[in-house]
């Protein structure tokens, strides 16, 4: 239970109308009942709101709340930012009391801050350090010598490998795996794939060989305020750590291979994959299913559209798209021309026939 005034305070905005309205939950305008707070931050919701039963709403700036039959409202200038503040205010978060659950297996050499919470059936390895206010929900594993900062939240089934460092306020969604071994193998002699890379094609004769493992002596360092999605994977570095910078958000099923260095305040959307040893700048946004080849440099403020496949260096500020990724405006031209390609092919055939007739040749 909360009042409209509570939400106005969270938003730092004045109440218009009755701030004492008592509300039970947030709801979409069409589904909102008289005890719900309708979230209607765009004029496109006006009709639904007028038809609905809501008495209180969050509205776009300049909205006429009285005309929509509301008893109270708060208007906001930037809808998604308001959404962040409202949802943060109304999310009760997980229920887990501080302390170590009796079913957890915590190595005696681990140092757990007194008000941290270690949930049921967690396993915490030797010499681990866990900071104040951090919560591990059920079934989390933390490997030897890992360090987890303050006020982190690790959801069920998160795996933190040995020697991993997490900053403060890091959130790991269920099943996120930080610190698996890097995928790094070598054959005694040059392999087919090395030959193919060198020659851009022919592998020639390839003697049968097996792969020898390159172990990961490095680990993973995650900055403050990073979020890592469900079942995402971040591998250890070979010698130095794989790194993810402060404030970067990583979505579900993202793969970050060994030795990648990711900057600050990036967004890596669902199923993005970075092969390894790439360097990504700050404020980079990679859309869903983007792929990044190994040893690529991506500058600051790059935006890559969904499913872009990046094989070459990307300069700062570039907006790219496609497979392979090129500048978005170039890609849009290419896609238009590609859709016309069957027609263009027919036109070329016609032209060749016409020119052959004109020149008396066969056009071949």
Does residue 97 touch a second copy according to CB under 8 A? no
Does residue 233 touch a second copy according to CB under 8 A? yes
Does residue 279 touch a second copy according to CB under 8 A? no
What count of other Cβ atoms lies within 10 Å of the Cβ of residue 79?
Answer: 15
Give the torsion sign (CA, 138, 140, 145, 150).
negative
- 12 vs 66 by CB, closer to a second copy: 12
Q: Are 54 and 70 in contact (CB under 8 A)?
A: yes
Question: Tokens 């990073």 map to which residue?
Answer: 226
Which residues in 185-214 contact a second copy (CB under 8 A)?
Answer: 185-188, 191-193, 196, 200-203, 206, 208-214
Does residue 98 touch a second copy according to CB under 8 A? no
Does residue 56 touch a second copy according to CB under 8 A? no
Q: Compute the chain's Rg from CA coordinates.
A: 28
Does residue 17 touch a second copy according to CB under 8 A? no
Does residue 277 touch a second copy according to CB under 8 A? no
The catalytic residue among 101, 215, 258, 323 is 258
Q: Active site includes 323?
A: no
Does residue 48 touch a second copy according to CB under 8 A? no
Provide the 8-state DSSP code for 44: G
DSSP labels, 187-200:
-SS--HHHHHHHHT
Does residue 168 touch a second copy according to CB under 8 A? no
| Structure token digits, residue 81 | 């930012």
**Binds a second copy by CB under 8 A, chosen from 7, 26, 59, 298:** 26
Q: Rounded to the nearest whole angstrom, what is the least distance from the CB of residue 140 to a second copy in the complex?
A: 9
Q: Rounded to the nearest whole angstrom, what is the least distance from the CB of residue 53 to a second copy in the complex?
A: 16
Which residues in 116-155 contact a second copy (CB under 8 A)?
Answer: 119-121, 123, 125-126, 137-139, 141, 143-144, 155
Question: Tokens 């360092």 map to which residue?
Answer: 221
Catalytic annotation, residues:
258
């Amino acid at each position: 239970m909360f009042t409209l005034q509570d939400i106005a305070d969270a938003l730092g905005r004045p109440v218009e109308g009755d701030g004492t309205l008592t509300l039970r939950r947030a709801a979409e305008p069409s589904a909102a009942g008289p005890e719900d707070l309708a979230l209607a931050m765009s004029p496109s919701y006006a009709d639904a709101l007028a038809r609905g039963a809501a008495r209180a709403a969050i509205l776009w700036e300049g909205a006429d709340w009285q005309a929509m039959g509301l008893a109270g409202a708060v208007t906001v200038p930037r809808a998604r930012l308001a959404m962040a503040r409202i949802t943060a205010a109304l999310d009760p978060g997980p229920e887990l009391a501080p302390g170590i659950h009796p079913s957890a297996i915590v190595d005696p050499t681990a140092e757990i801050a007194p008000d941290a919470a270690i949930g049921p059936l967690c396993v915490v390895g030797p010499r681990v350090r866990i900071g104040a206010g951090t919560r591990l929900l059920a079934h989390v594993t933390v490997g030897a010598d890992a360090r987890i900062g303050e006020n982190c939240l690790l959801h069920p089934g998160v795996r933190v490998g040995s020697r991993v460092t997490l900053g403060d306020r890091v959130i790991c969604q269920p099943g996120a795996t930080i610190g698996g071994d890097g995928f790094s193998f070598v054959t005694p002699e040059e392999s087919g794939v090395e030959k193919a890379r060198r020659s851009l094609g022919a592998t020639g004769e390839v003697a049968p060989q097996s792969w020898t493992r390159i172990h990961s002596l490095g680990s993973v360092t995650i900055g403050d305020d990073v979020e890592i999605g469900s079942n995402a994977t971040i591998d250890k570095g070979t010698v130095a750590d794989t790194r993810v910078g402060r404030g970067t958000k990583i979505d579900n099923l993202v793969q970050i291979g060994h030795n990648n260095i990711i900057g600050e305040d990036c967004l890596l959307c669902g199923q993005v994959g970075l092969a390894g040893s790439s360097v990504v700048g700050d404020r980079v946004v990679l859309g869903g299913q983007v792929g990044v080849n190994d040893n690529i440099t991506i500058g600051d403020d790059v935006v890559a559209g969904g499913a872009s496949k990046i094989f070459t260096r990307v300069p700062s500020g570039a907006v790219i798209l496609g497979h392979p990724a090129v500048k978005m405006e170039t890609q849009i031209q290419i896609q238009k021309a590609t859709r016309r390609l069957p027609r263009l092919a027919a036109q070329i055939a016609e032209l060749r026939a016409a020119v052959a007739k004109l020149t008396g040749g066969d056009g071949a």
